[in-house]
Amino acid sequence: SHATVLLHPGFRVGSIDRRMFGTLIEHLGRAVYTGIFEPDHPTADEHGFRGDVAALTAELGITIARYPGGNFVSSYVWEDGVGPDRPPVLDLAWRTVEPNTVGTDEFLQWAERTGIEPMLAVNLGTRGVDAAAALVEYCNGAAGTRWADLRIANGRERPYGVRLWCLGNEMDGPWQIGHKSADEYGRLAAEAGKAMKRVDPSIELVACGSSSMEMPTFGAWEQTVLEHTWDVVDHVSMHAYYQEHDGDRASFLASGTAADRFIRRVVASADAVAARKQSDRRLTISFDEWNVWYLSRFPGETNLPLQRDAPRIIEDVYSALDAVVVGDLLVTLLNHADRVPLACLAQLVNVIAPIMTEPGGPAWRQPTFHPFATTARLAQGEALDVRVFGPTTATARHGEVPVVTAAATIDGQSVAVFLVNRGTEEIEVAIDHPGASLTLTTGHQLTADDEPARPGPEHAEAITAEHLRTIDLGGARQDDRTTIVLPPESWTAV
């Protein structure tokens, strides 16, 4: 079987915003404590942050980090996490004792040292306009007013200049502390956002969209929230997690198509609001939580026992199949570069993460690390408007889906092509590039198998050794057409 991928350097989707390669670092489980932060670790810097994790974060190519949640933010009192008094408090999202050792200053300074742009979320669950505006002033204000002066008293003279702000988290979800109706949230987000921009007009605001495409309020939620917040927000969020259900591999491998449909529907909802408002503005998306997550194995927020000391929760281990799906989800993101400038692989370390750690021990890469790192490195410049002509296949969850997906980017004379074969048979792909020559140099290929994932660094390394390979593509100049063979259930970057 075969497929054709058509590229033309003149047909472009749009610039790739580097902020598409973001992540989430939540106060959840071991993401912060024994994840990025572990003062007793042999690689810890003078501030208590693990050097090995920071190095892997850089290798992963992370550009922005959303913080401090996630669900955690919806009952977070940010003042508890700054200054000399740090009371331990009960976090209602994950029923964990939060020691408040790491707070806003520690996180923002870590981000600065690691060259990552911070994206802060404010609590619109249990708090409101006042606390949100105060936090913007604490971070970005100049000396001479209360909250900026508190930052200075806490040892940080220069404002942080945090540009990206999320107006709450998953406020459509009944599990969220302070869950709201679309009208309640829309009004609050509009007023909080207005006040935050009065403090610092240069910030960008993200309104909460839906927690998944399957939410009963999806679509209507976006419409109502954006009607209220249209004049103040810059982006609307979306969240999506995918997993294999009951051995249905074909549907799982088609997660990228589900994500594609989700993006198109959010775009349609935003554009419908624009139409009603006689506006030409094309609101953009912050896809600020996406990943593979075996959610069905998670007992749920309401059944969690009360825990302390950074418990091991949601530490999913990933297989080569999961990594292929992550690669395909990135193909979807690239194809929507014009409407998705912001995206966060959730999360960074230990919690549904590409990086794992042991306290006092090693840090390592899960299989999902590799397609992300390679895409973040190779996808530069602008996304091309790629057309794929090939077979489709029927799936139980998503109906008819393409077997081959592709994205391509162009940066000066360099072109990167990302290809996925979701099918169970090898497939030959002709990349048509009429009127342009391509010289293929190196390729990176990842293949899936049936092996269930097992925890630990040795297993992760063994999977990578077996399933990830670098291919030498010969470097011969090809006019008009280049042919490449994709193994079954594989992701390829050339």
Q: Any idea which residues carry the catalytic annotation? A: 170, 289
Q: Which of 63, 140, 169, 445 binds ligand AHR (CB under 6 A)?
A: 169
Q: Which of 70, 118, 311, 423 binds ligand AHR (CB under 6 A)?
A: 70
Residue 188: CB minimum distance to ligand AHR, A: 18
8-27 positions binding ligand AHR, by CB under 6 A: 26
User: In the beta sheet, which residues pair with residue 492?
Assistant: 419, 445
197-226 positions binding ligand AHR, by CB under 6 A: 211
| DSSP assignment letter at 452 | P
Residue 289: CB minimum distance to ligand AHR, A: 6
**C-alpha to C-alpha distance for 233 and 415, rounded to whole angstroms:** 34
User: In the beta sheet, which residues pair with residue 2?
Assistant: 428
**C-alpha to C-alpha distance for 274 and 295, rounded to whole angstroms:** 35
Name the residue among 20, 90, 9, 125 with its Cα closest to residue 338.
Answer: 20
Considering beta carbons, is residue 53 or 93 the nearer one to ligand AHR? 93
Structure tokens at 190: 């509009």
Burial class (CB in 10 A: 0-12, 13-18, 19+), 282: exposed
Considering beta carbons, is residue 353 or 384 the nearer one to ligand AHR? 353
Q: Which residues contact 277 (CB under 8 A, 6 or more apart)?
A: 230
Q: Which of 170, 234, 260, 385 binds ligand AHR (CB under 6 A)?
A: 170
Q: Alpha-carbon Rg of the chain, whole angstroms?
A: 22
Structure tokens at 326: 């992550």
Residue 75: CB minimum distance to ligand AHR, A: 12
Specify the DSSP element, H or E, that contains 97.
strand 96-98
β-pairing verdict for 12-15 and 382-384: antiparallel
**C-alpha to C-alpha distance for 377 and 246, rounded to whole angstroms:** 34
> Does the footprint of ligand AHR cover residue 347 (CB under 6 A)?
yes
Residue 217: CB minimum distance to ligand AHR, A: 15
Q: Which of 120, 346, 407, 419 binds ligand AHR (CB under 6 A)?
A: 346
**C-alpha to C-alpha distance for 144 and 151, rounded to whole angstroms:** 11
Residue 358: CB minimum distance to ligand AHR, A: 21
Compute the half-sphere exposure of residue 20: CA atoms within 13 Å on the CB side of its CA.
29
Compute the half-sphere exposure of residue 300: CA atoms within 13 Å on the CB side of its CA.
6
The count of chain residues that interact with ligand AHR, using the rule CB under 6 A, is 10
Considering beta carbons, is residue 6 or 346 the nearer one to ligand AHR? 346
Residue 152: CB minimum distance to ligand AHR, A: 32
Residue 107: CB minimum distance to ligand AHR, A: 16
Q: Which residue is nearest to ligand AHR (CB)?
A: 70
Name the residue among 269, 289, 262 with its Cα closest to residue 25.
Answer: 289
Residue 211: CB minimum distance to ligand AHR, A: 6
Q: Which of 71, 229, 335, 482 binds ligand AHR (CB under 6 A)?
A: 71
Burial class (CB in 10 A: 0-12, 13-18, 19+), 66: buried
Whether residue 480 contacts residue 434, with contact meaning beta carbons closer than 8 Å, is answered with yes
**C-alpha to C-alpha distance for 276 and 279, rounded to whole angstroms:** 8
Q: Where are the beta strands (DSSP E) in 151-213?
A: 164-167, 204-207
Peptide bond into 243 cis (omega under 30): no
**Interface region with ligand AHR, contact rule CB under 6 A, candidates 65-73, 228-236, 273-281, 331-339:** 65-73
Site string for ligand AHR, 433-462 (x = CB under 6 A): ------------------------------
Q: Which residues contact 299 (CB under 8 A, 6 or more apart)?
A: none
241-300 positions binding ligand AHR, by CB under 6 A: 289
**Interface region with ligand AHR, contact rule CB under 6 A, candidates 68-76, 116-124, 191-199, 399-407:** 68-76
Burial class (CB in 10 A: 0-12, 13-18, 19+), 163: middle
Residue 384: CB minimum distance to ligand AHR, A: 31
Whose structure tokens read 């050794």? 465
User: In the beta sheet, which residues pair with residue 445?
Assistant: 469, 492
Whether residue 270 contacts residue 438, with contact meaning beta carbons closer than 8 Å, is answered with no
Structure tokens at 139: 């971070």
Name the site residues for ligand AHR (rule: CB under 6 A): 26, 69-71, 169-170, 211, 289, 346-347
